[in-house]
Amino acid sequence: MPANWSEEVHRIMQEQNVGQVAYVPDTGLKHVIELVVADKKMRAVPLTTEEEGVALATGAWLAGQRSVLLLQSSGVGNCINMLGMAIECRIPLLMLVTMRGQWGEFNPWQMPMAQATASVLTAMGVIVQPVERADDVAETFAAAGRLAFNTNRVVAVQVAQRVVGAKEFK
């Protein structure tokens, strides 16, 4: 995401008292991750796989902290079983999902999960908030955070690939 959105997302995490941010390294979320890593009031937790972020969110919530999971759409499929636990136990979790396999994609391996991301999350009981325009990222993320943390729900903000830009094969 461009730096201005990243800064707004980071500011919203601060305002909403997020204590832990889990992520699998991703160029689309690079600036957000850098801001979280530099923030001494947040714990940035790099993951080897996305479902670890759901477990981290559960532990954080049990310890009295809010958390956010940053991931790419290709990692959503890795989380499905763990999301069932978070939903059943009413663990609040805010996810920021950047899309691949859409606008300008070069990698055919990204296509299947891109087509299924929203429907798979919805089928599991996750509330999906899509973002198609850059100007809507911060407002949607803030509203999704309030929804997740005030109602103990799992909420995913799904940012379209056109918003974050297509990666290129080099």
Q: What is the pLDDT of residues 62-83, one digit of tens each?
A: 999 999 999 998 899 999 999 9
Per-residue pLDDT, 106: 62
Whether residue 170 lies inside any domain: the answer is no
Whether residue 115 lies inside any domain: the answer is yes
Rounded to two decimals, what is the model's pTM?
0.92
For the chain, what is the domain count? 1
Domain CATH code at residue 128: 3.40.50.970
Per-residue pLDDT, 110: 66
Q: Which domain holds residue 139?
A: 3-164
What residues contact residue 110 under an 8 Å CB cut-off, 6+ apart? 73, 74, 100, 101
Whether residue 19 lies inside any domain: the answer is yes
pLDDT at 1 over 50: no
Whether residue 85 lies inside any domain: the answer is yes
Average pLDDT (37-62) is 96
What's the whole-number average pLDDT of the chain? 90
